[in-house]
Amino acid sequence: MEEKRLLAVAVGMIAVFSVLTARLAWLSTDESARYAVQKQSEATLPLSEGRGDIYDCNQWKMTDWEYRTYGLFSPGKESYRTWFESVDETQKSAFYGSIQRREPFLVQLQDTQKQPEFVFRQAQRYWSQPIAAHLIGYLDGEGHGVYGLEKACEDWLAEAGTKEEVVCTVDALGAYLNTNHDVPTLQKTPGTGEGLMLTLDSRIQRICEGIAQEKMDRGAIVVMETATGKIRASVSMPLFDPTDVAASIEKNDTSLINRPISGYSVGSVFKPVIAAQALKAGISPDTLYECTGEYELNGHIYRCAYGKGHGVVNMTEAMEQSCNCYFIHLGLMLGAQSVHDAAQAAGCGQVTPIVPGWNTTAGNLPTVEQLEDKGQLASVSFGQGALLASPVQVAGFLNIFANDGVYIQPSYAQGIIDTESGQVTESFYRPIQRTVFEPDIAKQVQEMMVSVIENGIGSAAAPRMTTAGGKTGTAQTGRYNEDDEELMDAWFGGFYPANEPRYTIVVMMDSGTHGSSDAARVLADIADALYCFEGCPEEDAVPPLSLEDILPDEKTDAVETSAENEDL
C-alpha cells in the first residue's frame, strides 16, 4: 500500500514538472505570450502644442504654414548608422542622444525617400523665411509666448489650436509595439478653433521686408491704408529668426527692438502739422519770412541745415526746403497751447492699441507748461526737443493730409476669427477718428508735400513709375560713432499716389550718418512696388518685375547733413 502511495506521488510530481517544463518552453518561443508577461506601458510623445494661428488680412496663415516630417524611432530597434542620413541636419545630435535612451522618440527627417515605418507631419510655427517676426514674436523652449503677439495673446492662443500627440505601447525595453492590437497612433485634442486676424497684407509685408534688407541696416517701414488706418506692412530692421533668438542675443545687434512701435525724435516730418495749424489759425500760406540760416532766441542759436540761409520764403517754399527758421517763426506765432493742441489731435503722446493688453509706445508730447518755455516751443516746432513719436504715430499724423484732414488711429489687428467659417467673432478694429483740419487746409498741405518731392529737397523720393508726396526729416540723437560722427535718425514720410492717396508710407533709418535722402529712396522703391503690386494701368503696362527689377541700380548724392540744432 505504501509503495502504491509513493508511486502515485512520484507520478504526480513528474506530471507537474512536465507541465511546467512545457509551459516554459512555450513562453520562450511564442512571441505574443512573451509580450504578455513583459511589463507594458503607454508612451505619449507631443507632436504639436496646438497654438492658434495668426492670419493676415486675406486670411492667409502667417504661422503654422510649412510642414515638416517626423519619424518614430525606438532605442535598440533602430541603428544610428542606418538612419543618420535621413535625419534633418539640425536634429542629428539630438537623434544620437535620443537613441541611447530607453523610450521611443520623434525626430525631424530630411526630405528623402528613406523613412522609418511610422512618420507624422507637423506644421512648423514659423516660416523658414520668417515674416513680420517683430510683430508675431516668438516662443520659449516650453512653447509659451514671450515676445510680440505670441506673448500678448498667450492665454487664448494656447487654447485655440489642435494639440497632437503620438501614442504608442512600449515593452520593458522601451521599444514601441507594432502588432495587430498595438499600433502607434496620432491623437488630436481640438482647441477653441479661433485665430487672430491682422490688418497686415503678407504680400505688401514681403515687398517691404525685401526692400528693407536691400536698403537699410537699422530702421523701420510702415505702410498704412489711407482710408482705413489699417497697417498693411510693419517692418523692423535688423530682422531676426524666431527659431534662433539666441543668435540675435549673441550678435547684440538690437534686432529684437520693434522699431515701428518705439519712440524716436521725429525731426522735420512734424512740420506739416505746424503748417496746417498755422493755416487753421488764419496765417496765410503766402506769409513771408527772411531766413538767414540762423534763428537766435534767448541767447541760443537754431540753424537750418549747413547754416545756409534760404532767403525770403513763403510757407510752401519753406516746406520744400525744410527751413527750420520759418517753422520756428510759425510755432512762436501760434504759441504753446496751439502747438500742443495740434500735436495731440494728430495722435502725439498717445498709445496705439495693437491687441488688447499690448500697445505701441506713447512717445512724448511736452505739456503746455513745458512749451511755455520758448526754447522748447521753438525746438518742437521743427520736430526736435522733447517731442518723440513712433513710426506708426508718424504714419498716423501724416495720413491726415492724405485723408481730407481726418485722423484715423492706426490699426494692427482685425480681430479674432472662427477658423472654420472665417467670420470675425470679436472685432479689434475700432479706430478712433476725428477731423483735425478742414479738407481745404489738408489739401493745401498735401500739395506742399507733393512739391517737396517735385520741387524741393525730397526729389530722391520721386518714384519712377508713379507719383508721391512727402516730407524729409533728420533728427539728432546725441550719440556718436567711433569716428566722432553724430548718429542721426533719418526719416521720410509721405503718401502714394500724389492724387487721391491710397497708402501712407513712413521710412525711418535708425542711427545713421546720412540725412533723409536714403530714407526717401526707400519710399520711392515702395511706391513703385505698390504700383506694380496693384496692377499698372494698361497704358503703363510693363513686363512682370522681380524685386531686383524694382530696386534702382544707382544712388544720387545725398543732399542733407547735420549740425547742431539743424534739421531737414
In this structure, what CATH number is given to the domain that contains residue 60? 3.90.1310.10
Q: Name the residue among 568, 553, 469, 462 with its Cα closest to residue 514.
A: 568
The pTM (predicted TM-score) of the whole model is 0.83
Residue 82 resides in a domain: no
441 vs 544 pLDDT, higher one: 441
SS3 493: strand
Residue 279 belongs to some domain of the structure: yes
The CA distance from 567 to 383, in Å, is 8
**Position 147 confidence tier, pLDDT thresholds 50, 70, 90:** very high
> What percent of the chain clears pLDDT 70, i.e. is strictly above it?
79
- Supply the mean pLDDT for the chain: 85
In a domain, 158, yes or no: yes
Task: State the cell numbers at 210.
Answer: 525685401
**Residue 272 and residue 275: Cα distance in Å, rounded?**
5
> Which residues pair with residue 492 across a beta bridge?
472, 507
Three-state secondary structure along 15-35? HHHHHHHHHHHHHHHCHHHHH
Question: Distance between CA atoms of 407 and 399, rounded to whole angstroms?
Answer: 7
- Domain count along the chain: 2
Q: How many CB atoms lie within 10 A of CB 91?
A: 18
pLDDT at 560 over 50: no
The predicted pLDDT at position 96 comes to 60
CB atoms under 10 Å from CB of 168, counted, come to: 21
Taking only the tens place, the pLDDT of each residue in 155-183 is: 999 999 888 888 877 776 656 666 656 77
Both 267 and 320 in one domain: the answer is yes
The whole-number pLDDT of residue 313 equals 97
Strand partners, 406: 435
Residue among 135, 344, 84, 357 at smallest CA distance from 242: 135
Q: Helix, strand, or coil here: 544?
A: coil
Alpha-carbon gap, residue 239 to 255, rounded angstroms: 6
Pick the last residue of a domain from 194, 222, 238: 194
Q: Concatenate the DSSP letters of all residues of 446-467 into one string.
A: HHHHHHHHHHSTTGGG--SSS-
Instruction: Say whether both 57 and 149 belong to one domain.
Output: yes
Same domain, yes or no, for 187 and 332?
Answer: no
DSSP label at residue 556: P
Quick one: pLDDT at residue 486?
77
- Whether 311 maps to a domain, the answer reads yes
Domain presence at residue 248? yes
The domain boundary residue, chosen from 149, 172, 194? 194
Element (DSSP H or E) covering residue 149? helix 148-152
Buried/exposed code over 337-354 (b: 16+ C-beta within 10 A; e: otherwise): ebbbbbbebbbbbbbbbb
240 in Cβ contact with 256 (< 8 Å) = yes
* Cα gap 490→216, rounded to integer Å: 11
What share of the chain in percent tops pLDDT 90?
60
If DSSP codes are grouped into helix, strand and coil, which group holds residue 357? Answer: coil
pLDDT of residue 558: 31
Tens-digit pLDDT profile for residues 298-326: 999 999 987 789 999 999 999 999 999 99
Q: Which of 166, 194, 222 is the last residue of a domain?
A: 194
Same domain for 146 and 276, yes or no, is no
Q: Which residues contact 479 (CB under 8 A, 6 or more apart)?
A: 486, 487, 511
Residue 291 located in a structural domain:
yes
Q: Is residue 126 part of a domain?
A: no
Residues 209 and 173 occupy one common structural domain: no
pLDDT in tens, 432-444: 999 999 999 999 9
Task: Determine which of 21-30, 473-482, 538-547 has the lowest per-residue pLDDT on average.
Answer: 538-547
Query: CB neighbours of 345 closer than 8 A, spacing ≥ 6?
Result: 407, 434, 436
247 lies in a domain?
A: yes
Same domain, 160 and 225: no
Both 159 and 230 in one domain: the answer is: no
pLDDT at 352 over 90: yes
How far apart are the C-alpha atoms of 551 and 529, rounded to whole Å?
9
Please give the single-letter amino acid code of residue 248: S
Mean of pLDDT values over 482-492? 85
Under 8 Å between Cβ of 67 and 124: yes
Average pLDDT estimate for 445-459: 97
Q: Give the distance between the most distant pair of CA atoms in the chain.
A: 144
* Measured distance CA(353)–CA(436) in Å, rounded: 20
Domain interval for residue 288: 202-550
- Most confidently modeled range among 4-13, 91-100, 241-250, 535-544: 241-250
Which H or E element spans position 55? strand 54-55
Residues 167 and 213 both lie in one domain: no
469 and 324 in a single domain? The answer is yes
Mean pLDDT along residues 47-59: 90
Reply yes or no on whether the pLDDT at 556 is more than 50. no
Contacts with 367 (C-beta within 8 Å, 6 or more apart), sequence order: 340
Q: Does 37 score more than 50 pLDDT?
A: no
If asked whether residues 329 and 397 sit together in one domain, one would say yes
CATH assignment of the domain containing 322: 3.40.710.10
Cis peptide before 497 (omega within 30 of 0): yes
What would you report as the CA-atom Rg of the chain, rounded to the nearest whole angstrom?
33
Residue type, 468: A
Q: Which cell numbers in the block locate residue 336? A: 504753446
User: Which one, of 549, 473, 555, lies nearest residue 510 by Cα?
Assistant: 473
Q: Is the pLDDT of residue 8 over 60?
A: no
Do residue 304 and residue 165 come from a single domain?
no
Q: Is the peptide bond before 238 cis (omega within 30 degrees of 0)?
A: yes
Residue 375 has a CB neighbour count (10 Å cut-off) of 14
Measured at the CA of 412, the angle between CA 407 and CA 413, to 5 degrees, comes to 120
Q: What are the cell numbers at 368? A: 503746455
Nearest CA-CA partner of 136 in 408, 411, 355: 355
Q: pLDDT band for 459, please (50, 70, 90 cuts).
A: very high
Q: Are residues 423 and 533 in the same domain?
A: yes
